[in-house]
Chains A and B, each alone.
Chain A
Amino acid sequence: MSAIRALQTELPALGERLAEMRIGPFDAQALARYARASGDDNPLHLDDALARSIGLEAPPVQGMKLLAAFEPMLAAWRGDLVLTRLAGKFVQPVLRGEEVVLSGRVLRVSMADGVFLRLFAHGPTRVPAIIAEATLRLAPPGGSE
C-alpha cells in the first residue's frame, strides 16, 4: 500500500491545468519544411492562390503539425510520464501567420488507466482549431516505455 501511495503522489491532480504554450506564427518556410519532413504534399498548405480559391485568406497550417506539437508540451509539463495515446479532431484551420495557443487540463487520474487530459489548440478565434485528448502513464522504473 505504501508503494502505491508513493506512486499516487507522483500523479498530477484532477483538474490541474497545464501551462499554456504558444507556438507560431508559422511562415511559409515553416509550412514548407514541415511538408518536406512529413511528406504531406497537399499544395493547399503552400499555395496562396489555392487557399484563396476555397475562401481562406492564407494557406492553413498542416493539422498534423499542430496535433504533434502537443507531445513536446506534455513532455515539458511532466517528463516523468509517458504519452501512450493522443487523439485529436481538426475543427477549424489555423492560417499561416496566426499564433496558436495549446492548453490542457487533467480530467481523470488513476493508477490503472493513467492520466487522461483534454487538450485544445486555439488560433485567433474562440472556436478551437483542435480538440484533443491524451493518456499518459508512469514510466516503468529505469525505462521510458
Chain B
Amino acid sequence: MVGAELETAALGPFRVTVDAERAAAYSREVGFAPRADGSAPLCYPAVWLTAPDIHASIARVCAETDSVPVHESQSFAYDSPLRVGESYDLSLALRREATPPRLVIEAVVAALGGEACARFETMLRLVPRGGFGAEAPA
C-alpha cells in the first residue's frame, strides 16, 4: 500500500560533475577498475546526495520528524551513461509519506543541454529515534 503523501519539495537543479578522481575511488571500492570507455559507475550519482545543500535538506526532514533515516531501497535507470569528467544538472523531488513514514528522493540527471539521461530514486524509512533498533539499517 502506498503511503499518504504529506508534502513534496523540489530542489535544484544543482550543477554536478562526475569527478574523475572520485569516480575512480568509487569504482575501486565497489569492486572494479574504471572503464576504458569513460562511463561512470552506475551507482555513482548517489554520491551527489551527500553534497551539503542536499544533505542538509534530508537532515532537516529527519530533525523535523525526530527520526533516523534508514536506507530502504535504491534504484537507477539510464537512457545514456554518465561520462567521467562531464557535468550535469541534478534536479530532485523530496516527497514525504506518512504510512509508513518515509522520505522518497526522486532525482533526474540531465545533460547541460537539458536532455535527461538518468533517473534515480532513494527511499529512506524514517524511524523514530525512540524506536531505532527495531529495524536494521542498510
The chain A residues found within 8 Å of chain B, CB to CB, are 23, 30, 33-34, 36-42, 44, 53-56, 60, 62-65, 67-69, 71-72, 75, 82-90, 92-93, 130, 144-145
Pairs across A and B, CB under 8 Å, 25 listed: A23-B31, A37-B26, A37-B47, A40-B50, A44-B137, A53-B133, A54-B133, A55-B136, A60-B137, A65-B29, A67-B43, A68-B30, A68-B42, A68-B43, A69-B30, A71-B43, A72-B32, A84-B77, A84-B78, A85-B76, A86-B42, A88-B74, A90-B72, A90-B74, A92-B136
Pair B25/A37 contact, Cβ less than 8 Å: yes
B81 sits at the interface (CB 8 A) = yes
- Interface on chain A toward B: helix, strand, loop, or mixed SS? mixed
> CB within 8 A of B39: which of A53, A54, A86, A144?
A144
In whole angstroms, what is the CA distance A23 to B42 when docked?
Answer: 18
In whole angstroms, what is the CA distance A86 to B118 when docked?
Answer: 12
Q: A41-B50, A90-B74 are in contact. List 9 more A-B contacts (CB 8 A).
A: A23-B31, A39-B51, A63-B138, A68-B30, A72-B32, A88-B74, A88-B75, A89-B72, A145-B80
